[in-house]
Amino acid sequence: MAFEASVLLAGSNKPAPPNATIDGSLDEQQVMSVSVILARKNPIPEEAMAEPMDYETFAETYGADAAHIALVEQFAYHKGLTVVEVSAAKRRVILNGTVKAMKAAFGVELHCYKSSTGLTFRGRSGSISIASELEGVVLGVLGLDTRAIAHAHIRRSHKKKKKPAAQPVTFNPPQVAALYGFPTDVTGAGQTVGIIELGGGFSATDLATYFGSLGVTAPTVTAVSVDGGANTPGGDADGEVMLDIEVVGSIAPGANIAVYFAPNTDQGFIDAITDAAHDTTRKVSIISISWGGPEDSWAAQSQTSMNAAIQDAAALGVTVTIAAGDNGSTDGEAGALHVDFPASSPYALACGGTKLAGSGSSITSEVVWNETANNEGATGGGISAVFALPSYQESAGVPVLASNSFAGRGVPDVAGNADPVTGYSILVDGQSEVVGGTSAVAPLWAALVALLNEKLGSNVGYLNPKIYALGEGVFHDITSGNNDDGGLGYYNAGPGWDACSGLGSPDAVALLSALSPGASSSAGFGS
């Protein structure tokens, strides 16, 4: 019989869940779901991403091979699994089956775990096995393990209140946009911003109240379920959800907003990005992501699968803005330098944080956000230990990774106001509050891209190569501050690109002019 011999799936090894213990056995007859991620029919050359391609061309050229899909379907039949969904464009086959059948099909032991905080989930350790016929065909099997994979990059101020005269000035999102010179004669009409959320929810009443208080026409906001995720307000993650929607919606109220709710698992996160990128109904033009975790907390198969999903988006002309993290140059892992993923994907526009002061349309100061002394976070940034230096950064002066001299992808690409002390006024679960974090910067840039797309009459799409070719002249160069959170001495701001503020915060007037048809791009690095 076929599918008897097996091999280990490359990159699938996982340690046992940290800070958790096995808590009883799983019901062997419980039905569960996995997403099987397949290899591309052809690799996507960099030059093919210069202009957005249509869904049909993408599926035909860079989707999964029909023969590979048929092979996975045959495998499922032989292993007693049910094929729930097949998509060549998404390179994904979703399978259902009992716990017992999944364990046998993929050679894993699955256990019920309880975390130190009392959460229960399904987990595994070691590697996944796949039938030898699937070697080179299957890149990832997601969903066997349901441990939480990411956290939201939102920060709240812990400073004690001072006398009113000494209080720092906070902003609503349109005021931040005004300081950065966002165009005011467009609203993002014709654009759809996809927001990825791994928990929480939004209240339509709160949104109507918030936008009404700003005198802004409320945008159309739609909740989209992925892998059973749903709009469920009433929890801690509501602040992230409302921040994302309120930043995008108040700056680009003419854009449609689709919120993709998914479970906080590698399967849920990756499926949400994939579904948003390939949503032929809503035609998403920008994806905003404010969730992530240190690179070394991800299994390699998950990183590979998510990076490919973000590349899908970029090839389809979708700009993906991702928060760079709120835990400084260590990304919260004391004693060593780390960057946050998926911000470190070379196809993501990684968004770092600053501390902004200004009035009206005038910036009086802007430095790197670092409030670790007050336990209020610092912008993420540094050098990837996973992804090699992309061609668009070759002339940007990105240093090698200090620990091993690896020439890695530099994070972030851009920056924006993130300090919660000078943060964004939002409404969450009926309460007004001021928040920050690079969680605010990803939707800020997403809103700017929506405005630019409408203004230019076409999607800017995969923005990274374009902005590095333009150089720092279209940004407010941040030259003061650092994101050192552990006394390691990394990283300091300086002229040009740096590993805490990227190219800088947006000078939207200059950026729009430089991206307009006929504009010269001769101001790039090394010119």
User: Catalytic site residue 6?
Assistant: no
Note the pLDDT of residue 156. Answer: 87
* Strand (E) or helix (H) holding 417: strand 414-417
Q: For residue 133, give the DSSP letter.
A: G
Look-up of token digits 């340690």: 15
Classified as helix, coil or strand, 174 is helix
Classified as helix, coil or strand, 491 is coil
**One-letter-per-residue 3-state SS of 372-385:** HHHCCCECCCEEEE
User: Catalytic site residue 326?
Assistant: no
The contacts of residue 261 (CB under 8 Å, 6+ apart) are 197, 198, 201, 223, 224, 225, 226, 229, 230, 231, 232, 272
The contacts of residue 169 (CB under 8 Å, 6+ apart) are 357, 359, 422
Classified as helix, coil or strand, 132 is helix
pLDDT truncated to tens, each residue of the chain (527 aa)? 589 999 999 999 999 999 999 998 899 999 999 999 999 999 999 999 999 999 999 999 999 999 999 999 999 999 999 999 999 999 999 999 999 999 999 999 999 999 998 899 999 999 999 999 999 999 999 999 999 999 999 998 765 444 444 456 789 999 999 999 999 999 999 999 999 999 999 999 999 999 999 999 999 999 999 999 999 999 999 999 999 999 999 999 999 999 999 999 999 999 999 999 999 999 999 999 999 999 999 999 999 999 999 999 999 999 999 999 999 999 999 889 999 999 999 999 999 999 999 988 899 999 999 999 888 899 999 999 999 999 999 999 999 999 999 999 999 999 999 999 889 999 999 999 999 999 999 999 999 999 999 999 999 999 999 999 997 789 999 999 999 998 999 999 999 999 999 999 999 999 999 999 876 544 454 43
What global pTM score does this model have? 0.96
Structure tokens at 31: 């039905």
What's the rounded Cα separation, in Å, for the pair 225 and 223?
7
Catalytic position from the list 133, 145, 244, 246 = 244
What domains lie within the chain, and their CATH numbers?
Answer: 6-142 (no CATH), 151-515 (3.40.50.200)
Catalytic position from the list 145, 240, 279, 419 = 240
Amino acid at position 74, single letter: Q
Catalytic position from the list 129, 285, 439, 501 = 439
User: Catalytic site residue 56?
Assistant: no
**One-letter-per-residue 3-state SS of 285-329:** CEEEECEEEEHHHCCHHHHHHHHHHHHHHHHCCCEEEEECCCEHH
What's the rounded Cα separation, in Å, for the pair 396 and 468?
8
Amino acid at position 389, single letter: L
Report how far apart, in Å, the C-alpha atoms of 77 and of each of 30, 73, 86, 96, 287 are: 18, 6, 14, 11, 36
Give, rounded to a whole angstrom, the gap between the first and last alpha carbons of the chain. Answer: 62
CA nearest neighbour of 261 among 232, 293, 299: 232
What's the rounded Cα separation, in Å, for the pair 45 and 63?
14
What's the rounded Cα separation, in Å, for the pair 191 and 525?
31
What's the rounded Cα separation, in Å, for the pair 205 and 407?
49
**One-letter-per-residue 3-state SS of 424-475:** EEEEECCEEEEEECHHHHHHHHHHHHHHHHHHHCCCCCCCHHHHHHHCHHHE
